[in-house]
Structure 1
Amino acid sequence: MKNIGFLSFGHWAPSSQSGTRSAGDALLQSIDLAVAAEDLGADGAYFRVHHFARQLASPFPLLAAVGARTRKIEIGTAVIDMRYENPLYMAEDAGAADLISGGRLQLGLSRGSPEQVIDGWRYFGYAPEDGQTDADMGRRHTQVLLDVLKGEGFAQPNPRPMFPNPPGLLRLEPHSEGLRDRIWWGSGSDATAIWAAQMGMNLQSSTLKDDETGEPFHVQQARQIRKYRDAWAAAGHARTPRVSVSRSIFALLNDRDRAYFGRGGKEQDSVGYIDAQTRAIFGRSYADEPDRLVDQLRQDEAIAEADTLLLTVPNQLGVEYNAHVIEAILTHVAPALGWR
């Protein structure tokens, strides 16, 4: 059995070729897709966060709105770039969104990836400390967030407050109990997966990671997951961690599916550089008739290792078509693989 959700980047473009032509379209259609996915029996609605781009950016208004419109589906991010975040303000926003949803928030974070502008986090008022990198800054912000999500008091109360205070040091409010255990780390390497385990975060691994061995993407990703679980066990955490992977998977059921995705071209991994030093491997996409798709997915070692699968969706094709994409996997592929 696997949790199966969707992952949307929330692209929009003011073009006649796009079904999502404005930021408002992207946000409202994201809410509608989450409602449709819940009706279909999907387990999660996840959203990517990018700044300075025609994509979804500030996640918490969207997450709160999805939480208010749905009842069961997990709502989350994959991922929030922590270089841009004030962790205390973020803890308040996350606590509010989690309470609105009734404790369904699954918050995916990361140290970030190359963005649309140079050092975009500087425009948000953040800079690494002396001797540190922007990645160090993202992890430092994350550690502060994890600490305050514990709900422990840390701030000295005013002896003459506007409103009465509870006794002792004050914590951030609203506090949502249990949210600390629903924080995920988007890891692009084996080392950061191990760090996530040591910090007690769940693991998100996408279709991109550092090319550390030259092996196929799914083999490297499966090894990353096993190293993460070994590090989790060594750290002695009490709970069982969760692990997600994301994939582009399309079951070709009709002529429209074949027109969009049946022409091939991404059946193999690809290798490139995400910055001047980092060689990365990008995982393949899957698009085929359901029976052949099942055979191909059985060979994916990382999907087998993970308990959660996030289906990346082409959101600019509209809510109705994306609901069809999700339903096709849930109905024609997942049962044959034992995921349902």
Structure 2
Amino acid sequence: MKKIGFLSFGHWADHPAYSTQSASDTLLQSIDLAVAAEELGLDGAYFRVHHFARQLASPFPLLAAIGAKTKQIEIGTGVIDMRYENPLYMVEDAGAADIISGGRLQLGISRGSPEQVIDGWRYFDYDLKDGETDADMGRRKALSFLNHLDGVGFAQPNPNPMFPNPPGLLRLEPHAEGLRDRIWWGAASNATAVWAAQQGMLLQSSTLKYDESGKPFHIQQAEQIRLYKEAWKEAGHTRAPRVSVSRSIFALVNDQDRLYFGQQAGSVDSIGMIEADKRAIFGKSYAASPEKLIDELAKDEAIQEADTLLLTIPNTLGVDYNVHILSSILEHVAPALGWR
């Protein structure tokens, strides 16, 4: 059994073929899609976070709204770029969203992906400490966020407060019990996957990672997951780890599917450079008849290693068509692979 969710990039543009031509379209349709996904029996609704782009950028209002309109589905991100965040304010936002959803938040965070602008976090009034890289800053802020999620008081109370204080040091409010155990780290390398395990974070592995061996993408990703699980065990955590992988998977069951995605049949892994100096491998898309998809996906080692599969969706095509994409996987593919 696997948990199956969707992952939306939340694109919009003034394009005649798009159902999402504005930020309003994207936000409201994201809520509608999460509600519909829950009705389908999907396990998760996840959203990407990108700044300075016509995409979703401020996740907590959206997550809270979805939490208020759903009852069971996991609600998450994949991922929040910690370079842009105030960790303590984020604890408050995340705590509120988690409480509104009844403890269903699954928050993916990371150092972040290549940006739309140069050092965009500087515009948010953040800067590096001496000798620090932006990756260091992202991990430093992540650890601060994690440390303040535990609900332990750390701030000295004012002796003359506006309102009476409880005894002892003060913590951030609202405190969301258990949220610390539902924080995921988006890892692009084997080393950061191991680091995430050591910190007690769950693992999100996307459709790309650094090319560290020249092997096919799914094999490198499976190796990364196994290293993570070994590090988790060595760290002595008593709870079970969780691992998600993202995939673009389209079951071609009608003419519209074949028109949109038929050209992706036979897709292969690709190699590219990110941040100018890092060689990355990008996983292929899967687009075929359900029967062929079942055969191809059964050979994907990383999917076999993961307990959660996030299906990347073309949100610009609208809620109804994305419901069709998701229901086609649940109906025609997942049962034959033992996912359902």
1:256 match: 256
2:67 match: 67
Cα displacement (A) at 1:255: 0.4
| Partner amino acid, structure 2, of 1:136 | D
Query: Is the aligned partner of 1:162 residue 2:180?
Result: no
Write the distance in 2 (CA, Å) between the matches of 1:207 and 1:232: 22
2:98 match: 98
2:304 match: 304
Cα displacement (A) at 1:264: 2.7
Write the distance in 1 (CA, Å) between the matches of 2:56 and 2:113: 15
CA RMSD, aligned part only? Answer: 0.6
Cα displacement (A) at 1:265: 6.0
Structure 2 unaligned residues grouped into runs of 5+: none
Query: Is the aligned partner of 1:333 residue 2:330?
Result: no
Query: Is the aligned partner of 1:47 residue 2:47?
Result: yes
* Post-superposition CA distance 1:274-311 (Å, at most 9, x none): 02210000000000000000000000000000000000
| Partner amino acid, structure 2, of 1:326 | L
Write the distance in 1 (CA, Å) between the matches of 2:273 and 2:128: 23
Cα displacement (A) at 1:113: 1.3
Structure 1 residues 258 and 265 mapped into 2: Cα distance closer, same or farther (>3 Å)?
A: closer
1:178 match: 178
Residues 64 and 97 of structure 2 are in contact (CA less than 8 Å); yes or no, is this contact kept in structure 1? yes
1:79 match: 79
Write the distance in 1 (CA, Å) between the matches of 2:129 and 2:27: 35
Write the distance in 2 (CA, Å) between the matches of 1:315 and 1:325: 11
Residues 104-183 of structure 1 correspond to what in structure 2 (within 5 A)? 104-183=104-183
| Partner amino acid, structure 2, of 1:102 | G
2:79 is paired with a residue whose SS is strand
Write the distance in 2 (CA, Å) between the matches of 1:225 and 1:88: 30
Write the distance in 2 (CA, Å) between the matches of 1:96 and 1:241: 25
Structure 1 unaligned residues grouped into runs of 5+: none
Write the distance in 2 (CA, Å) between the matches of 1:101 and 1:201: 21
* Post-superposition CA distance 1:232-256 (Å, at most 9, x none): 0010011001000000000001000
* Post-superposition CA distance 1:156-194 (Å, at most 9, x none): 000111011110000000000000000000000000000
* Post-superposition CA distance 1:129-158 (Å, at most 9, x none): 110100100000000000000000000000
| Partner amino acid, structure 1, of 2:122 | R
Determine what percentage of the aligned residue pairs are the same residue.
Answer: 74
Write the distance in 2 (CA, Å) between the matches of 1:127 and 1:103: 33
* Post-superposition CA distance 1:301-332 (Å, at most 9, x none): 00000000000000000000001100000111
| Partner amino acid, structure 2, of 1:133 | T
Residues 189 and 209 of structure 2 are in contact (CA less than 8 Å); yes or no, is this contact kept in structure 1? yes
Write the distance in 1 (CA, Å) between the matches of 2:113 and 2:51: 11
- Normalised TM-score (structure 1): 0.99
| Partner amino acid, structure 1, of 2:120 | G
**Runs of 4+ off more than 6 Å:** none
Write the distance in 2 (CA, Å) between the matches of 1:273 and 1:266: 23
Write the distance in 2 (CA, Å) between the matches of 1:149 and 1:334: 35
Write the distance in 2 (CA, Å) between the matches of 1:128 and 1:307: 36
Write the distance in 1 (CA, Å) between the matches of 2:29 and 2:113: 26
Cα displacement (A) at 1:128: 1.2
Residues 108 and 186 of structure 2 are in contact (CA less than 8 Å); yes or no, is this contact kept in structure 1? yes
Write the distance in 1 (CA, Å) between the matches of 2:263 and 2:15: 23
| Partner amino acid, structure 1, of 2:61 | P
1:224 match: 224
Cα displacement (A) at 1:266: 6.2
1:29 is paired with a residue whose SS is helix
2:205 match: 205
2:50 is paired with a residue whose SS is coil
2:112 is paired with a residue whose SS is coil
| Equivalent residue pairs, number | 340
| Partner amino acid, structure 1, of 2:316 | Q
